[in-house]
A and B are shown apart, each in its own frame.
Chain A
Amino acid sequence: MEFGLSEEQLMLTESLRGFLDERLPMNKLREIAEGGLGFDGELWSGLTEQGIMGIMVPEDFGGLGLSLLDAAVAAEALGYHAAPTPFAAALVMAPLTLIASGDRAQQKAWLPRIASGEVRIGVGFAGMSGQTGEAVARLDGNKLSGCITGVLDGGDATHFIVYLGDGRAALFAAVEEPGVSVSTHRSLDRTRPVTALVLHDARAAILGAANDPKAAATAVLDAGRVMLAGDTLGAAQSMFDKALLYSKERVQFNRVIGSFQAVKHTLADIITMLEPCRSLVWYAAHAQDGPAEEARVAALQAKAHLGDAGREIARLATEVHGGMGFTDLLGLHYWFKRIAFNRQLLGAPERCRHEAAVAQEWVS
């Protein structure tokens, strides 16, 4: 047995982190964030070269066919750099939906295009995700109507997948399709937007090949939750690293502030929260390939725990920076907001814990 990352996973982290270090300096991040779309063509093609587009796409369809743990490792790296790019929905939930619920022809049509970076699919849920906002959708034949807000990875998406309450999914084009209205809003987190879809008899392809559509939808939702937990992990690590560095440089009362016990203890508290979070995220990602109850509880607890620990770490790391931490100038707030965004999407901690109780049959 081994609990940890493989050589390949460590390399994936390293190369992605190296790439983002170089290609996404603060001024570039600011520039992309200003638009608020969570998408930049240059960054996207760079990430395509990095190979993460096909991370969840099976090799038969031109992807890398990696595991959800690999994806979680990538999510952590993206969160570490607050990368303004589609990921959790477009590169994880969408391909997983096609794998679980698409028929052979649909898989052939879509998966290779995801792997090449040609299509970017936003994902929303009509019910079941546990988000606040509008979430109604109705299917009449292959015509989809309804209103879904808080759709993930919708900025500059080429297509959308909407999950219906019964677990089936509907796929449609983002533009030029009559009856589809897409409005993307800059969010609190300028690195990723929120999208609202209003649909009137929009023509959609139904992804309904799963034996148990509800279970398939839940698995995709949980995979998304693990990705957001991974993203928060990276963002929290980033804030901690910045706070630690700052505490070794900033001088007050003729001492670096990191020599004050209160500051030192704050940093100790953060790392004590943070390291076990990493193991929980890894485990949750790994567990998604295993027995259903364990997978559910792990994903839900990871999402919930990272939501809470992330918020606490974000506050403490900001405090360590003093007034500088509160400025726009430093840019620390991008990570703070990234963590806040991840907390609310796909079910906040309380909601996820409730689902975990149900999954364990503690309550009905």
Chain B
Amino acid sequence: MDLRYSSRHRALQEDARSFIKEYGHLSPKTGGGRKRPDARALDWQELLLERGYFARNIPREYGGFGLPVDIMELAIIAEEFSIAGVSPGIMNQGISMLVPTLLEVGTKEQCIRWIGPTIRGDIIWCQGYSEPGSGSDLAAAKTSARVEDGQFIVNGQKIWTSSAHYADMMFLLCRTESDKSKHDGLSYLLVPMNAPGIEVRPLVTMTGRAEFNETFFTDVRVPTDQIVMGRGDGWHVANVTLKYERMLLGDANKLTYRLARAVELMKKTMLAGRRFIDIPEYRERLLKLQGEVMASKYHGLRLMTEQAKGEDSGVKRLIVKLNGTMIAYRLSSLVVDVLGAAGLAYEPVGEASEDDEATTWQIDNMYDIGLIIGGGSSNIQKNIIGERGLGLPREPKSVPPAVRG
């Protein structure tokens, strides 16, 4: 155990603090409804990239800051940004899921081509996994792609596609090998959303906004080099992405950030002349969550340490999404309780401008349920933890229906 800061670490912490002090007011607001990064968010992103507070370890040739991994540095940056309540940069499906996937299994050309514009926020990605007939049973995807004249021709339908209405690209899981088994017949394609034959129909979610979509494909052409790994490797690649998605969804930095906001709010919000933090029932909830957030945070540091050493964290990694999304939901639930009746006025203003604080928390609280479902529901996480993590036998299966090509 070594949590000491070297002089370099102390200097970084100082730098981060003075950076936040000087530029923090330029940060876009965090939380709330999902939308395409606006000019403010893009400028902020550029500043973070320039200073190495974002994409710190991504090679320079791919547009990152190019430093070797030092998990203490990452922890310091994350901590300073979350405590200050300043945006740590854009976190979306492209940046947090596709980029690490490409770094892990993509070709050098693919990394050069896609990573730079993605981390700058210029290319927004969406995730084409779920279909009306296959959500939890992701590998049963039916959307198909056949090769014709040196191109993939995609047909089918995806659903619950977050951000598809403003995304530039999609990473798509589809069936290319109709003669192969369920899991071996899939491929992972990178599809431009402006390709002819793609139709995006927004779906209104419980937040009242259209945050995800149905996406239809009719003879959509995709160049054959826009496949990650090979034909039939789609299930493998999709799971690499899911690994990063689940780490993102269970991210302990978000919990630290949420906790700090909850403490602030409870110190200033009053109920019948008393601060919420002085009311034992609410304080006890906050304290309980603090213990859980601390446990999650140090668990995260432990995983980062193991990752940096190239160790396989096994079941310890598999629990992150289940653990983090539940705590996040309970934190935002505490906050909406503190806001109480006064926090019920709810008028999301959508993608054009910023929501007020109460509306933002209400959206976050509802979205937290979405995140408990998305990326593999809690039940699916528990299946994975039990089966892959603990070696328990799978449910006896009924014979799978034949997969159509």
**Could you list which residues of chain A lie within 8 angstroms of chain B, going by C-beta atoms?**
1-6, 69, 244, 247-248, 255-256, 258-259, 261, 264-265, 267-269, 271-272, 275-280, 282-283, 286, 297-298, 301-302, 304-305, 308, 350, 353-354, 356-357, 362-363
Contact = CB atoms under 8 A, between A and B. Distances in A.
Nearest to B287: A353
Given A259-B395, A275-B315, A275-B319, 13 more contacts: A1-B4, A3-B305, A5-B1, A69-B1, A264-B387, A265-B386, A268-B322, A268-B381, A272-B385, A276-B292, A280-B299, A301-B287, A357-B277
Given A261-B395, A271-B319, A362-B267, A276 B295 contact: yes
A280 B295 CA distance: 5
Contacts of B283: 357, 362-363
B11 interface: no
Given A259-B396, A271-B385, A304 B291 contact: yes
21 contacts: A1-B3, A1-B70, A2-B305, A3-B302, A4-B305, A256-B393, A259-B395, A261-B379, A261-B382, A261-B395, A265-B382, A267-B385, A271-B385, A271-B389, A272-B319, A276-B295, A279-B298, A279-B302, A297-B290, A304-B287, A353-B291
Interface residues of B, dominant DSSP:
helix
B206 interface: no
A264 B383 contact: yes
Given A276-B296, A283-B294, A357-B287, A3 B304 contact: yes
B323 interface: yes
Contacts of A259: 392-396
A99 to B, nearest CB: 21
Contacts of B1: 2-6, 69, 282, 286
A275 B303 CA distance: 11
Contacts of B319: 268, 271-272, 275-276
Contacts of A301: 287, 290-291, 294
A305 B290 CA distance: 9
B356 interface: no
Given A5-B1, A268-B322, A363-B277, A248 B291 contact: no
Nearest to B296: A276
B210 interface: no
A265 B392 CA distance: 10
Given A271-B390, A279-B295, A298-B294, A255 B396 contact: yes
A345 B71 CA distance: 37
Contact of B386 (A264, A277, A278, A282): A264
Contacts of B394: 259
B12 to A, nearest CB: 12
B6 to A, nearest CB: 9
B193 to A, nearest CB: 36
Contact of B390 (A268, A279, A362): A268
Nearest to B315: A271
Nearest to A6: B1
A362 B263 contact: yes
Contacts of B392: 244, 247-248, 258-259, 264, 267
B266 to A, nearest CB: 8
B294 to A, nearest CB: 6
Contacts, number: 146
Contacts of A6: 1
Chain A interface, >50% SS class: helix
B306 interface: yes
Given A276-B295, A276-B323, A353-B284, A3 B381 contact: no
Contacts of A353: 284, 287-288, 291
A283 B300 CA distance: 12
Contacts of B295: 276-277, 279-280, 305
Contacts of B292: 276, 305
Contacts of B302: 3-4, 278-279, 282
Count chain B CB atoms within 10 A of each CB in A2, A3, A279, A356 and give the residue with the most. A3
B123 interface: no
A186 B371 CA distance: 49
A272 B382 CA distance: 9
B284 A280 contact: no
Contact of B291 (A1, A5, A280): A280
Task: Give the one of A255, A276, A282, A354 with max B CB within 10 A.
Answer: A276
Contacts of A297: 290
Contacts of B379: 261, 265
A264 B382 contact: yes
B75 interface: yes
Nearest to A9: B1
Interface in B282-333: 283-284, 287-288, 290-292, 294-296, 298-299, 301-302, 304-306, 315-316, 319, 322-323
B221 to A, nearest CB: 42
Interface in B2-44: 2-4, 9
Contacts of A350: 284
A268 B298 contact: no
Interface in B71-86: 71-72, 75
Contacts of A363: 277-278, 283
B322 A282 contact: no
A1 B299 contact: no
Contacts of A282: 1, 298, 302
A351 to B, nearest CB: 11
A255 B389 CA distance: 20
B385 A268 contact: yes
A304 B4 CA distance: 26
A258 B278 CA distance: 45
A3 B322 contact: no
A341 to B, nearest CB: 20
A284 to B, nearest CB: 9
Contacts of B267: 362
A271 B322 CA distance: 11
Contacts of B2: 1-2
Interface in B232-285: 263, 267, 277-278, 283-284
A264 B318 CA distance: 14
Contacts of B284: 350, 353
B3 A286 contact: yes
Q: Among B1, B9, B305, B396, which residue has the most Cβ atoms of chain A within 10 A?
A: B1
A334 to B, nearest CB: 23
A305 B291 CA distance: 6
Contacts of B75: 1
Interface in B337-367: none
